Amino acid sequence: MPVRTTQITGSGGGGPVARAGRALSGLPAACHPLPALAVTVFTAVLAVAAGHGPSGVALAAGAVAAGQLSVGWCNDRADLRRDLVTGRRDKPLVAGTASPAAVARAAAVALLVCVPLSLAAGALAGAVHLAGVAAAWGYNLWLKGTVVSWAPYALAFGLLPAFVTLGLPGAPWPPPWLMAAAALLGAGAHFANVLPDIDDDLATGVVGLPQRLGARRSAALAGLFVLGSAAALVAGPPGRVSAYGWALLAATAGALLLASRSPAGRLPFRTVMAVAGADVVLLVAELRP
């Protein structure tokens, strides 16, 4: 069966400056700005809750922002061939508002910036963060189409709290329940994020674990992972579970149940993001020095 292809457009007339402007105008959209912003804000809030001062918060957020930008641009560049085949006109590289060379250069520059910013938090903290960024690049370039496609998400999210706390005096590791909650949230985000694109992925040869399981089972797994993340946050810290904790668990279960009714849409991923926001509120209360 023939596959559909789409030509990159938008490289029409005009001088060199105009052409350069068209090649760069789509860069902000090609970095996956909303997930990048969400992870950066989560890091900043976590750094505040863990006891970092303003400079420490800015450093942690800057390193994570650079890493997220590099991962987002890398992802769009790596997916260009598949996005052309499936006619993804929402992607800047397909629409012609960003050039492949510009996106590749932006990813490389962001990665180069990420390295010193990460290491400025301390050698161990920096190594931990760079390991998470490397896992995300590995997902983009190879692991996306394997049965362990979920592992880079779990590893990168799970290491994020460690990057924050290892940058504190004495370089303490975060409590295991916090790393487990972050890893479970990352795995759930992977399954939820893939849901709308499963058919296109299969048509272009991407057969990660969600694609192998199908939309309904992947949606169920996403819900279980995210619910497990909320449970770890609620039950992990010592002491009695707060009223907010019980409410978070109940609201998470209800929201995930509703989202599971439309597994092929964007609702499951938006639900995961909403749960992550509620988790941040709980974390601030639990970790405040």
Q: State the sign of the Cα–Cα–Cα–Cα dihedral 267, 148, 76, 60.
A: positive
Q: Which of 3-7, 9-13, 18-22, 190-194 has the highest mean pLDDT?
A: 190-194
All domains in the chain, ordered by first residue: 20-156 (1.10.357), 175-289 (1.20.120.1780)
Q: Which residues contact 128 (CB under 8 A, 6 or more apart)?
A: 159, 162, 163, 166
Q: Which CA distances in Å does 81 have to 4, 145, 198, 270, 282?
A: 12, 14, 16, 27, 41
Percent of all residues in the chain with a pLDDT value above 90, rounded to a whole number: 56
Q: State the sign of the Cα–Cα–Cα–Cα dihedral 75, 76, 81, 86.
A: positive
Q: State the sign of the Cα–Cα–Cα–Cα dihedral 283, 284, 286, 289.
A: positive
Residue 180, φ and ψ in degrees, nearest 5: -65, -40
Contact of 87 with 4, CB cutoff 8 Å? yes
Confidence of residue 5 (pLDDT cuts 50, 70, 90): very low
C-alpha–C-alpha distance, residues 189 and 36, integer Å? 13
Give the chain's mean pLDDT: 86
**pLDDT, tens digit (0-9, with 9 covering 90-100), for 37-95:** 989 999 999 999 899 999 999 999 999 999 999 999 999 999 999 999 998 888 999 99
User: Which one has a higher pLDDT value, 130 or 90?
Assistant: 130
Contact of 286 with 242, CB cutoff 8 Å? no
